[in-house]
Structure 1
Amino acid sequence: MEYPYIKNITHEKVQSLAGLVNAEDGQIVSKTLAQNEAVSVTLFAFAKGEEISTHDSTGDAMVTVLEGTGRFTVDGVEHLVHAGEVLVMPAKKPHAVYAPEAFKWMLTVVFPFK
């Protein structure tokens, strides 16, 4: 495995996760912090009105909203997730993301052990 395990963030420095990603109007910005067979950690910034259409994942996906509010639809059920809140989207369940306002969030996906 290549080092560092966690990338695109300064090590040994206290930082604001929300400050690491910014989206202009009409944009979705992502920054991968870790990616391997077991786990994926990605920061996102969504401009108001942006979305990712329905898809699924082989792993459990945990959303942590850092700023603003996001709308996550999981298996047809809508969830509004506010700053400081988390939502787990189970593996293989269809889900989508929509930004009713600009928001920033972290996605942690834990994949099945092979």
Structure 2
Amino acid sequence: MINIMKNIEFSQVLNLKELISYKKGQVISMTLAQIPAVNITLFSLDEGEGISTHTTSGDAMVQILDGEAEITIGDQTLTVKEGETVIMPSDIPHGLEARKSFKMLLTVIKKPKDKEL
């Protein structure tokens, strides 16, 4: 059997925010799954760090596990805190900045290349 999920224990209760740590002045990522249609990644961003504005070919769901992020989607800026979730639509420029150190689970669902939804 081939597992799609990686870097994570199976058949165990897990606290996602404990699986990744903060490092001063850094953005840390841990890929949990990466297949053509789906990417699932844990991130930690130290205060003041960010992910520069970019676009993706899929809708991206950010779930804040700890701390506080400022997320810009197009011309809208949102403050998102622990326990909150934001969907960043595909093909719209977006970026993230750590107003306070934060951890997030990022799930990207990509559009099918051969069919329209």
Q: TM-score, normalised by structure 2?
A: 0.93
Q: Does 1:22 align with 2:24?
A: no
Determine which structure has the larger strand proportion and give its number. Answer: 2
Q: TM-score, normalised by structure 1?
A: 0.96
In the TM superposition, what is the alpha-carbon distance from 1:76 to its structure 2 partner?
A: 1.9
In structure 1, runs of 5+ residues without a counterpart are none
The count of residues paired between Structure 1 and Structure 2 equals 113
Q: Secondary structure at the match of 2:99?
A: coil
Matches within 5 A, 1:60-75: 60-75=59-74
Report the alpha carbon displacement of residue 3 of structure 1 after superposing the two structures with TM: 2.1
Q: Deviations over 1:1-45 (max 9, x none)?
A: x82111100101111100111121101100000001111000000
The amino acid of 1:57's aligned partner reads T
Shift >4 Å, 4+ stretches: none
Instruction: Determine whether 1:84 maps to 2:69.
Output: no
Question: RMSD of the alignment, in Å?
Answer: 1.0
Matching residue of 1:37:
36
User: Which residues of structure 2 form unaligned runs of 5+?
Assistant: none
Amino acid at match of 1:31: M
Identity %: 41
Cα deviation, 1:68-107, whole Å, max 9, x if unaligned, reads 1111100021011111110000000000010001110010
